Amino acid sequence: MTHKDEPVNKPHLLQCKIVDTTFGQNVSVVEPVNIYGATIGNNCFVGPFVEIQKGVVIGDGTKVQSHTFICELVTIGETCFIAHGVMFINDPFINGGPARANKALWRETRIGNNVSIGSNATILPVTICDNAVIGAGAVVTKDITQPGVYVGNPAKKIKDL
């Protein structure tokens, strides 16, 4: 609320958009989304309120549900399911705080094929093998090298697949 004699500041408005992205065949995207500089394979689905940053690669048949954030340096395999609100992290705060513009401190994440990641999971820079299930709300802090079901914070294996 401003007093009638005070100037009203106007924000610089940016629109959601899709730019510089390569799509395979039969891809569905529900707007609004921000997708830029990514590669998305055949038969994929991207829900609303998703951001997919530059350099991200998403394999054929993968579904990304609403409110998910996929940052730079993430590769997701084929036939994966990324549920609502999943957050991928590329800055592990190596120096105790955000790397900011120092991308040399960022790390990559690789998700195998046939991986399901539950709602509100957080995926730090790790590698997840094929055929893994990450439970809702899990926080994956270390590489997952064996198929199975992983839950908790930090995520731990509770069941073989």
Return the domain boundaries, the chain.
18-159
User: In Å, how far are 104, 110, 123, 145, 149 from 131, measured between CA atoms?
Assistant: 30, 13, 16, 10, 9
Q: What is the biggest distance separating any 2 CA atoms in the chain, rounded to whole angstroms? A: 67
Question: How much of the chain is in helix, strand and coil states, percent to nearest 5?
Answer: 0, 35, 65
What tens digit of pLDDT does each residue of 4-35 get?
Answer: 667 789 999 888 999 999 999 999 999 999 99
CATH topology of domain 18-159: UDP N-Acetylglucosamine Acyltransferase; domain 1 (2.160.10)
User: What's this model's pTM, rounded to 2 decimal places?
Assistant: 0.93
The average pLDDT across 117-125 equals: 98
Q: What is the pLDDT of residue 8?
A: 85
DSSP 116-147: EE-TT-EE-S-EE-SSEEE-TT-EE-S-B-S-
111 strand-pairing partners? 76, 128
Q: Binning pLDDT at 50, 70 and 90, where does residue 148 land?
A: very high
Tokens linked to 132: 């893994």
Helix (H) or strand (E) holding 70: strand 69-70
Q: What is the pLDDT of residue 7?
A: 72
Q: Is the pLDDT of residue 1 over 70?
A: no
Q: Is the pLDDT of residue 105 over 70?
A: yes
15-43 as b/e: b if 16+ CB within 10 A: eeebeebebeeebebeeebbbbebbbbeb
Q: What is the pLDDT of residue 14?
A: 87
Half-sphere exposure of 129 (CA within 13 A, CB side): 11
User: In Å, how far are 36, 73, 106, 109 from 99, measured between CA atoms?
Assistant: 21, 14, 7, 17
For residue 55, the 8-state DSSP code is: T
